[in-house]
Amino acid sequence: MGKPTGFLEFDRNLPHDRQPAERIADWQEFHDHFAEEKLREQGARCMDCGVPFCHTGKLLNGMASGCPINNLIPEWNDLVYRGQWREALLRLQKTNNFPEFTGRVCPAPCEGSCVVGINGPPVTIKNIECEIVDRGFEHGWIVAEPPTTRTGKKVAIVGSGPAGLAAASQLNRAGHSVTVFERADRIGGLLMYGIPNMKLDKKIVERRIKLMADEGVIFKPNTSVGHNFPADKLMSEFDAVVLCGGATKPRDLPVEGRNLQGIHFAMEFLHKNTQSLLDSNLQNGQYISAKDKDVIVIGGGDTGTDCVGTAMRHGCRSLVQFEILPKPPNERAADNPWPQWPKVYRMDYGQEEAAAVFGDDPRRYSLMTKRLVGDDAGRVKELHTVEITWAKDDSGRVVPEEIPGTEKVWKADLVLLALGFLGPEPDGLLAQLDVKLDARGNVAIDDNCQTSVPKVFAAGDMSRGQSLIVWAIADGRKAARCVDLHLMGETLLP
């Protein structure tokens, strides 16, 4: 696909992001766009590889390898190279309901398994995807397409994150009457309140929500099923229910001093910030401010990075980010071969911004938090750590071992816990429905996305556990197909 010799002629190039020192002064997206000529060159780098691993969507060692929604990447790369943008959009829409989301926030496992990437930099798949859909909206090619007929079946979707929206979009296209319930005051779930505005502008999310509403999907914000909307009412009013509430139970830090003031879960910090930003441009003060504070972020994943970027925009006094794992290598390790996702050292946007202000990557590796210490008013003032190494215990498990003499005390006014999630919240809706959970505490489903309760299905992080947005979309699409088959006895949904 693309130009047969393009991967030999053109280097990988991406549009320059706005400079870190400039972009931390606002909450706007920091990515710029490429000229069309440059985009076509990047599309030309997609080689005729024979077996396009980029769209395989497999799990290797627990990580995505290739695109989980099986995007037809070589096809739309070739069309972009040829300047056929509308045709490229049609190919993209065949597999992805929301390329404007994945093109911005997906970590791009497709690029990790790109064949060009075996011996050089991979094709800029994620950037091309985003440019295709943005151009589609800009030129008016993406418009509401409500179904021509309705089946008379009613489906409830609980949760309006990427899995819920994908399921809703597909089921609505099949002609069912779909209602999406969301406990927050705005629709979008993780897309709205779990990802900061500079990474995913909420106007992008709201644009898609409006499009779906124009197609006939009904949205019910401020509705917490299992609390202010009983589960039995849900079961009596709908022909099928899809649970897409996510894995929202955060992993805690069980150490001395955890109950001090000034220690918050990452999602509380991010949610309140975006809500206040949208409500009042942060003028109402209804958020957790990092301004003039010594901030420590515990956790090195995407959520931790988002906490770093948010704290930088508040104007924190200092910032460090702790990671319990060792620093990744600069190149693939021997036990991390292609086409696995490359576990290598990279600077994300938040770390770039902290480095621009404070002079260095804020991350500190192989650190374990021992305790938190507060002042006389009960507010956190310092955090104690010890360096660790990883070794096998008598049973063969790899466990952390403290290194004597490496204890250190860090100043801390604000501590943000970005340690991941343990699964869905078990009380409320799940308890009322009495659905079975698996060994990890997620909603148990069979191969047809069916739970232990008749006509109740589940998708996304609620049944998979904490994962990528692109996996949530894939799960939502699969669940929609299973629901359609359940309701109609047959299905044409992909």
CA-closest candidate to residue 244, choices 420, 473, 67, 453: 473
Confidence band of 427 (pLDDT split at 50, 70, 90): confident
Does CATH number 1.10.10.10 belong to domain 252-419? no
pTM of the model: 0.96
From-to residues of CATH 1.10.1060.10 in the chain? 6-138
Place of tokens 């197609």: 215
**60 vs 289, higher pLDDT:** 289
Helix (H, G, I), strand (E, B) or coil at 310: helix
pLDDT computed for residue 62 by the predictor: 78
Is the C-alpha dihedral spanning 288, 347, 368, 303 positive or negative? Answer: positive
pLDDT in tens, 369-415: 999 999 999 999 999 999 999 999 888 899 999 999 999 999 999 99
| Long-range contacts of 426-434, Cβ-Cβ distance < 8 Å, separation of 24 or more | 426/249, 427/226, 428/224, 428/225, 428/226, 428/227, 429/158, 429/225, 429/226, 429/227, 429/231, 429/243, 429/245, 430/226, 430/243, 431/226, 432/226, 432/230, 432/231, 432/232, 433/226, 433/231, 433/235
Sheet-wide strand order for 363-365? 263-265, 414-417, 294-298, 318-323, 363-365
Rounded distance between C-alpha atoms, residue 321 and residue 242, angstroms: 37
What is the pLDDT of the chain when averaged over all its residues? 96
Q: What's the average model confidence in pLDDT over 142-150?
A: 98
Does CATH number 1.10.1060.10 belong to domain 6-138? yes
Confidence band of 4 (pLDDT split at 50, 70, 90): confident
pLDDT in tens, 273-313: 999 999 999 999 999 999 999 999 999 999 999 999 999 99
Judged against a pLDDT cut of 80, whether residue 1 lies above it is answered with no
324 token code pair: 């319990």
Q: What's the average model confidence in pLDDT over 15-39?
A: 94
Neighbours of 404 (CB within 10 A): 8
pLDDT in tens, 98-116: 999 999 999 999 999 999 9
Phi, psi of 151 (to 5 degrees): -85, -20
Terminal Cα-to-Cα distance of the chain (whole angstroms): 24
Per-residue three-class SS string for 406-434: CCEEEECCEEEECCCEEECCCCCHHHHHC
289 token code pair: 């401010």
Rounded distance between C-alpha atoms, residue 224 and residue 231, angstroms: 10
Residues 275/287, Cβ–Cβ less than 8 Å: yes
Strand partners, 177: 154
pLDDT computed for residue 182 by the predictor: 98
pLDDT computed for residue 63 by the predictor: 77
Rounded distance between C-alpha atoms, residue 55 and residue 112, angstroms: 11
76 token code pair: 């739309």
pLDDT computed for residue 296 by the predictor: 98
From-to residues of CATH 3.50.50.60 in the chain? 154-248+422-488, 252-419
412 token code pair: 């801390």
Rounded distance between C-alpha atoms, residue 72 and residue 94, angstroms: 8
Confidence band of 48 (pLDDT split at 50, 70, 90): confident
Say which CATH class 154-248+422-488 falls into. alpha beta
